[in-house]
Structure 1
Amino acid sequence: MGLSDDPELQPLLFGMFLSTYLVTMLGNLLIILVVSSDSCLHTTMYFFLSNLSLADIGFTSTTIPKMIVDIQTHSRVISYVGCLTQMSIFTLFGCLDSLLLTAMAYDRFVAICHPLHYPVFMNFHLCGLLVLVSFFISLLHSHLHSLMVSQLAFFMDVEIPHFFCDPSQLFNLACFEISTYNVLIYFIGAIFGGVPLTGILFPYTRIVSSILRVSSTDGKYKAFSTCGSHLSAVCLFYGTGLGVYLSSAVSRSARKGAVASLMYTVVTPMLNPFIYSLRNKDIKKAMQRLFRRTV
C-alpha cells in the first residue's frame, strides 16, 4: 500500500526515495573504495567498516528500488514468491548489520582495554571468521523467518499496509490465529536481536570504565574518539529499530509504523557513511589521497 495514496505526493516521494538511494549507494561504495584502495586503512577496524557498508547497500537495495518502481509505474503489486524473497533478504542484511556492529564493538574493546594483545587477538584470520560466522547466522535467521511465513495461509489478494514485506505485517495478515507463531517470532527476535545488543553493551561498559581510569585528558579524548563513530551508528540503528517496533506494539496504526520504519531502513544506511567519514580523520585523509590520485 506504500506510504501515501495522495497522487500529489507521489512525485515528491519518488524524488525523495531516489535521491536517498543514490546518496546511500554512493556513500557506502565510496567507503568500500577508500578502504580497499588505501593501504593505511588495511586494518581490522576498517575491514569491518567496509563489510558494514556492503551490508547497508544490500539492506537498502532490498526495499527502496521496489518502492521507486512502484511509484513510477503506479503499481503496488508483488507476487507471493517476490514477497518472501524480499522479506528473506531484508532479514538477512538486517541481522548482518547487527552482528557486524557487535564485531566492531569487540574490536574496539580489545583495542582500548587490551592494546598490547590487539595484534594477536584481532588478526585478519579471526576478523574474516567473524564476518563469515555473522553471515551464516544471518542466513539462519532469514531462513527461520521464511520457513515460518511459508507455513501460513493467506487470502488471494492481501493488502500489506507497508512499503515492503515486513515480517510482522505478514503474520498479522494470516488467515488463522497464529499466537504460537507470534510467541516464536518474538523469541527468535529476542535471541537474534537481544544477544548482539548485549554483545555491544557489555564491551562498552568495560571500555567506559577503562577510559575513566586514564589520567590524561588527551588520552581520554583519543580513546573516546576511536569509538565515537561506532557508538553513533549503534544508537542510530538500534534506537530507531527498537523505537519502531515498540511504538507499533502500542499504536495500532500500521501506516504510521510504515512511516516510522523509514528511519532504520532508509535513513540509517544513508547516514552511516557520513558518521564514519566526518568523524574519522583517517577516512578523510584517505579520501583526499584518493581524489588527488584520481585528478
Structure 2
Amino acid sequence: MDIRQLEYFLAIVDHGGFHRAASALYLSQPSLSQAVRALERDLGSSLFHRIGRRAVLTEAGAALIEPARAAVRSLETARASVAAVHELRAGRLDLASMPSQTVEPLTTMIRAFSGRYPGVSVNIRAAFTSREVVETVRTGAAELGLLATPGPLPDKEVVSYAVGEQRFVLVTPPDGPFPAGRPVAAEELAGARLIVGQRGTGMRAYVDGLRERGVGFTVAAETEHRVAILPLVLAGVGLAVVTESWRTTAERAGAVVVDIEPKTSLRIGLVSRRVLSPAARAFVTCALAAVTV
C-alpha cells in the first residue's frame, strides 16, 4: 500500500465514481482501476461494488475513508512543513465554513491571511450546520472550520477558538412593516411571513424557538441556499431572521435591517485539528489577530 493508492481511493469517493475521479486526476480509467485493485489485494478486501458505471462503497471501503484521509493529511502536513522553509510561498489550505460566517468574519480572516501569504490558496468547503463543520475537520477533509452555535463551542473532537458573537437581526424589504432604526420586539413578528433556513442551523433554531414561545408566523419559504434569502426578501416574499454578518450586504442591496429585542446571539468559533500544517497554523494566527483588533 502507498499513499498514491489512498489518494486515488479518496478521489473515487469524493467524485462519485471511477470515470470522474480519473478525469480529475488526469489518469486513464484503466490505470486508476489497476491501482485500486492493487490496494484491494493489499488489504484483502473489496472496497467498491462495481454497478455499471457506478462505484458503491463496500463496508470495508466505508471503514477506510477516515484513516485514508488521516494518512493523506499527515503526508500533506509533512510536505507543508518542508515547504514552510520557503516561507509559505505556495500551497493550499482547506477550510469548512457555514454560509453566514463565510460573509463575516471569514472575509476579514482571509484578507488578513492573503495579505501576508498571497501564494497560499484558501479552499472554502460548504458546511451547513455546526456539526457538519466539526465532522469535516475531525475526519481530515479540512484542517480548519468556522461555525456558529447558540451553545458552547465544541472542545472534544477539535480545538476551538472563540472569535466573537453575532446577534440576530431582521431583514425586510424597503417598504416593509418596520421602520429602519427602531428595534423590533420578537413578539412583533407574530403573523409575519418568514423565509427560513434548514433545520440544524442557528437561524432556524431561533425562529423555531419563537413558535415554541407562542409567536405564530407563516413560513413563506424554506431554503438550504442561504444566497436565496436576500433576493426573496427584496422580492417581497417575506421577512428573514439572519445573523448580523449579513447587515452590510443587505443594506447595500436596499433592504432594511433592524435589531431584534431581546438580543439573542450565536457564538462564532474557529475550529481546527490538533496537528496542523504550517499554513493552517499561520491562518489561525492571522485570523485571531484580525478579528480581535
- Taking structure 2 as the reference length, what is the TM-score of the superposition? 0.24
Higher strand share: 2
| Greater gyration radius | 2
Higher relative contact order (CA 8 A, sep 6+): 1
- Taking structure 1 as the reference length, what is the TM-score of the superposition? 0.24
Higher helix share: 1
